[in-house]
Structure 1
Amino acid sequence: MRFRRSTAGAAVLIGLLAGCASTDPKTTLDLSAALPEQVPTGTVIRIGDPAVQADLQASGLDKELTDAGVRVEWANISGGPQSIQAFRGNKLDCSAVADIPSLFAAWTGTPTKIVFQAVTVDPLKYPTYELGVAPGQHVASLADLRGKKIAYSAGQAQGALVLRVLQKAGLTQKDVQLVDMTSTGDTYMTALGGKAVDVAPLGIQQVGVYKTKYAGSSTVPTGIRDDASTLYCLTKSVQDAAKAAALKTYVGVRTKALLWQNEHPQEYAVAYLEGNQGLSATAAQAYLKVQGKVGIPASWDAAQARLQATADLLSAEQDHKKLDVSTLADRRFESVEAAAAGSQLVTGDAS
């Protein structure tokens, strides 16, 4: 893991970490209490949110955090496996992920809370994933998945997507061969190209590269909504009154940053796609064409209902305990992002 540190000093961080573990009622915030308005001087929040970090810096919105007394220690981390590992090592407060990591954090004994929900406007037109098909394999529809070797990572969004695809196709795990394989970087694309697997979920930004690099390859749309986007945090961080106040500010400014991204795609491409992800200018422009706009939902109800359905599916298919996902969301922050979005709120769940 590579961390990008802000100007927060080690002494300040150590003091704050000690405060996180404190049981002092003056610093411990009940999860039903109103979020504090004032950010105490020197408060640091450690966040893995690379895309929004780039947005904030490119737009100048990071000044709103500074003006409010919020000091962010940025971590170049995103995704479930990295963030849960960092949570367990007490090196991170919050991370940007899809919805699956919050489930696995709960199932593996790492208490977290979702403090932000976003959706994609017109999500089926702008999917996050397509199914990559290895060169020489014939998969023209979901029904053709029967008997195929499919890359599968149980604790990631890609793994849940595979199970949902099988469910939609009327297939079970017994009808295919699931190949355990964590999706990091180009792992799945390489596995497809080398024919280690027949099918694997590919991020939409990888699809063009994959088809160009491997002759005879193809992709198939899933037809499944896969746009879940959250910020989740350690529960103990949300219970820290100082960090909770800082997170309230961060959620509001994060909302503005994502809406800025919608209106400034070229600046976003340079700051994040090229600057952080290392894409060429040509690849960044290609990605912009397949990336939908971010929507800030007026209500979290629909996102929570989809998460519950996913949790129920994973409980059945992966032998996890039944989970009430309402315990994973801190809906005090729902009104914070709604207020920041104002008239740009999405209703009807963006579908």
Structure 2
Amino acid sequence: MRIPQPALAAAAAVSVLALSVTGCSGDSAADGGTTVRFGYISDYNGASLLAIADKQGLWKKEGLSPRYKVFTNGPVQIQALGAGDLDYGYIGPGAMWLPASGKAKVVAVNTLAYADRVIAQPGITSMMDLKGKKVGVPEGTSGDMVLNLALQKAGMTTKDIKKVPMDPSTVVSAFVSGQIDAAGLWYPLIDTIKARRPGLTEVASTKEFSGKAFPTAFVAGNATKSTIDTKVVKVLQRANDWRADHPDEAIDAAAALLKVDRAKVAADAAHVTTMSTADLVAKTEDGTVDSWLNSLGDFFVGTGQLKSAPAPDTYYEGDLYTKAYGK
């Protein structure tokens, strides 16, 4: 299920709009260093490490000066990486098929996320109730992923529903206005919908799939820039450990960067499992991360997003991540 070009173009337009509305941090305190253009999504997963790196002066320690840009989803960031408009970005598990297909490389695993849901209008209580109904979803994202997982679990396929590709912000407005019956989406956007459409139901969740892991990650373009990659990974690792040791302050930092109420960020963080860098290094070395990526790869083969599941070491820079640790 490849993302059609019109959908990518529409999503890119929404990303530009979101950037103009929410702004970007521009140069951080590390002005004068090597500039890195870093994309993120406006949620705890996507923003917390960048906010911490700013607050703790971690970029400056590595001689880097970040310029942040906010996007609505991972696939559009992958497109920006490929076009040379971005150096690094953040993706959720639903977009992992793109680096797996050679469009980017994963330089660091971030968290395990369980924020994705299939939500439905009041009165719809199961996936079976969605037969013949309009379901909005941002294609190629984790919202698409949870929809496909839920359909499989219910013994259904996309042929049983009227799937409507939409960018995330359009999903929100379409659901609130009743133009669609259901959606594959994620928190905190679902909280936004709940505030305007009380009584909605959650008919499926990634939390239901206890045997699966859903890693989020930071990605880079395929061009070789090993020295900068190592520095960026070191910044992410140090920020990651600070987040693990200071969970409440990490929420404060993310809320400040996102310019949203702290309670909303805290609610979003409740859907996230964080790990220390030492744990992520160990899980890289013992093959656990590979098992997560292999599981996702097999899933994406089943959905048609991948022709075959590649070896994780073809797109996850595990050696880079482990060697950067402790430097």
- Give the TM-score, by structure 1 length: 0.70
Query: Does the C-alpha gap of structure 1 residues 57 and 195 become closer, same or farther in structure 2, counting only changes over 3 Å?
Result: same
**Alignment partner, residue 343 of structure 1:** none
**Alignment partner, residue 34 of structure 1:** none
Query: Does the C-alpha gap of structure 1 residues 144 and 302 become closer, same or farther in structure 2, counting only changes over 3 Å?
Result: farther
**Alignment partner, residue 311 of structure 1:** 297
Instruction: For structure 2, list consecutive stretches of 5 or more residues without a partner in the other structure.
Output: 1-15, 41-46
Query: Does the C-alpha gap of structure 1 residues 57 and 283 become closer, same or farther in structure 2, counting only changes over 3 Å?
Result: same
Question: What SS does structure 1 have at the residue aligned with 2:70?
Answer: coil
Asked whether the equivalents of residues 77 and 83 of structure 1 are also in contact (C-alpha less than 8 Å), the reply is yes
In structure 1, distance between residues paired with 2:200 and 2:39: 34
**Alignment partner, residue 31 of structure 1:** none
**Alignment partner, residue 70 of structure 1:** 64
Following superposition of structure 1 onto structure 2, how do residues 77-226 of structure 1 map, counting pairs within 5 Å?
Answer: 77=71, 79-104=73-98, 107=101, 111-120=103-112, 127-135=114-122, 137-139=123-125, 141-183=126-168, 185=169, 187-222=170-205, 223-224=208-209, 225=212
Question: What SS does structure 1 have at the residue aligned with 2:26?
Answer: coil
Q: Which moved more, 1:304-313 or 1:151-160?
A: 304-313
Letter in 2 for 1:253: V
Q: Which moved more, 1:152-161 or 1:300-309?
A: 300-309
In structure 2, distance between residues paired with 1:155 and 1:188: 14
Q: Pick from 220, 235, 239: which aligns with 1:253?
A: 235
TM-superposed deviation, 1:258: 2.3
Query: CA offsets, 1:145-193, max 9 Å, x none?
Result: 444322233322211221122112221222222111122x4x3232222
**Alignment partner, residue 39 of structure 2:** 48
Q: Which moved more, 1:303-312 or 1:196-205?
A: 303-312
Q: Which moved more, 1:207-216 or 1:46-55?
A: 207-216
**Alignment partner, residue 258 of structure 2:** 277
Query: CA offsets, 1:227-250, max 9 Å, x none?
Result: 3211111110xx12xxx2232122
Query: Does the C-alpha gap of structure 1 residues 299 and 285 become closer, same or farther in structure 2, counting only changes over 3 Å?
Result: closer
Asked whether the equivalents of residues 102 and 112 of structure 1 are also in contact (C-alpha less than 8 Å), the reply is no
Instruction: Say yes or no: does 1:231 pair with 2:218.
Output: yes
Instruction: Say yes or no: does 1:294 pair with 2:274.
Output: yes
For these two proteins, the number of residue pairs brought into alignment is 289
Query: Does the C-alpha gap of structure 1 residues 77 and 214 become closer, same or farther in structure 2, counting only changes over 3 Å?
Result: closer
TM-superposed deviation, 1:330: 1.5
Query: Does the C-alpha gap of structure 1 residues 103 and 281 become closer, same or farther in structure 2, counting only changes over 3 Å?
Result: closer
Query: CA offsets, 1:54-97, max 9 Å, x none?
Result: 11122x142xx323333333333463233123223312111111
State the identity %.
20
Question: What SS does structure 2 have at the residue aligned with 1:150?
Answer: strand
In structure 1, distance between residues paired with 2:305 and 2:143: 18
In structure 1, distance between residues paired with 2:72 and 2:88: 10
Letter in 2 for 1:51: S
Question: What SS does structure 1 have at the residue aligned with 2:136?
Answer: strand
In structure 1, distance between residues paired with 2:166 and 2:283: 35
Asked whether the equivalents of residues 128 and 227 of structure 1 are also in contact (C-alpha less than 8 Å), the reply is no
Query: CA offsets, 1:204-263, max 9 Å, x none?
Result: 324444333213322234213563211111110xx12xxx22321221231221232234
Question: What SS does structure 2 have at the residue aligned with 1:272?
Answer: helix
- Give the TM-score, by structure 2 length: 0.75
Q: CA RMSD in A?
A: 3.2
Q: Which has the larger radius of gyration?
A: 1
TM-superposed deviation, 1:116: 0.6
Asked whether the equivalents of residues 251 and 336 of structure 1 are also in contact (C-alpha less than 8 Å), the reply is no
In structure 2, distance between residues paired with 1:267 and 1:335: 26
Letter in 2 for 1:272: A
- Runs of 4+ with deviation above 6 angstroms: 7-10
In structure 1, distance between residues paired with 2:131 and 2:325: 43
Question: What SS does structure 1 have at the residue aligned with 2:143?
Answer: helix
Asked whether the equivalents of residues 259 and 294 of structure 1 are also in contact (C-alpha less than 8 Å), the reply is no
Letter in 2 for 1:333: L
Instruction: For structure 1, list consecutive stretches of 5 or more residues without a partner in the other structure.
Output: 13-41, 341-351
In structure 1, distance between residues paired with 2:35 and 2:193: 40
In structure 2, distance between residues paired with 1:134 and 1:315: 30
Query: Does the C-alpha gap of structure 1 residues 46 and 106 become closer, same or farther in structure 2, counting only changes over 3 Å?
Result: same
